Structure 1
């Protein structure tokens, strides 16, 4: 009986711990709403189990870009990568809303050669596909991948130039400005896949500070028929959102499916 009780307790502990084991990639700004002509923001970038705590690996900065309020490219300053996190500064020398983040596309896949299973190298580009699959390969399976991870920071009054969707991959049309979020008030986001409403997709919402509570407090919400997600944040703080869409609309020749991902970190202020 004692052995059975121990096994049951271990199983329950394992089940309750499972959600926190997911590695999440995130960008965390020191602030999202600032004033003055000489404002700066510091951004932490990492991949971890707990939001927003550094305990796994740093997020590499090679693909991180900065967009100024007028839509032109800005720059990172003082970039550094340590054991558990990367960090950089951005000088907000234009008034308005800035975008900071990554946008990446590539392929994943596998094949068999002489009966042995092989995988495409990590970060493979679609343009190199013909060279990556050797003659005589069988059981070729290719998946197209596209991901965005972005945050928004406003100096002075909010603007909308950097919020405009590009029509490529999974994006958000911000019906509520991302730097105008207040706890207890509903916000609306329209998710778009290649510029068209992404209906019925799941969006995971996780409040920060996971390390200091015994429950993840995550929610999985679903977009409506028009791709709109209506969300109310119960308390002020930083929140991590991730949306994923898998379908068969791959644009890469030979790919049978594609996976689109959108990630953002949002600051919700008190009323």
Structure 2
């Protein structure tokens, strides 16, 4: 356990359980907010939600090497535990779990969790090992802590769908709670990777939100052709010289499948590269 913090910070699963298990034995509920750190107001909104719904909120801070492929930004991903701790404490977290890679993976892992199908579309096409790494580390966190509820932002919508299915299939007795995306005043989704953007790139990055809004407007106007909706979204990105599109997609919100004709609860999702940053965003829309 680290000293000098307003709330406890533990680095091992044994210390984590030493604090949480006696509380649970007395009937306390535990909420988990899994993060990779370098927190922002979006993460804080998850903590606030958890603190309102549970007796103890645990925030995990771990930059998980399994979800980064070779050549991605694992080595430069921003880290600042002191800052993260202060942000957790000010919004009601009761405990920070900040393990090392050696604590999480004492031996090179030969077991992984893969949510087949869901892990191969959208982000999975561009980051084929990413979601297996996410599912594996979240499964380990669920096993270590046994939370009653776990909170994930809708900004990473595909991740949220995958974690819900993983928890269901593996019979984890945890409620996976999705929370709305927090945005800057100009619509840019809050993300730890926004720190990579230069001033001009930061201005250009609002194109993701504009693209999603354009796609939603087309659907709400009655267009039910996914090709046409995706083309509208992609055209907005293409008009921004600093941005390049990885994908612009419209899918069923619960299955991530692309419908032939748009209907029901849908999700518009996109990924774009701006400078050093690769940004993702999404928005929901309903149609009959």
Q: Specify if TM > 0.5.
A: no
| TM-score, normalization by structure 2 | 0.24
Q: Is the radius of gyration larger for structure 1 or structure 2?
A: 1
| TM-score, normalization by structure 1 | 0.25
Q: Which has the higher helix share?
A: 2
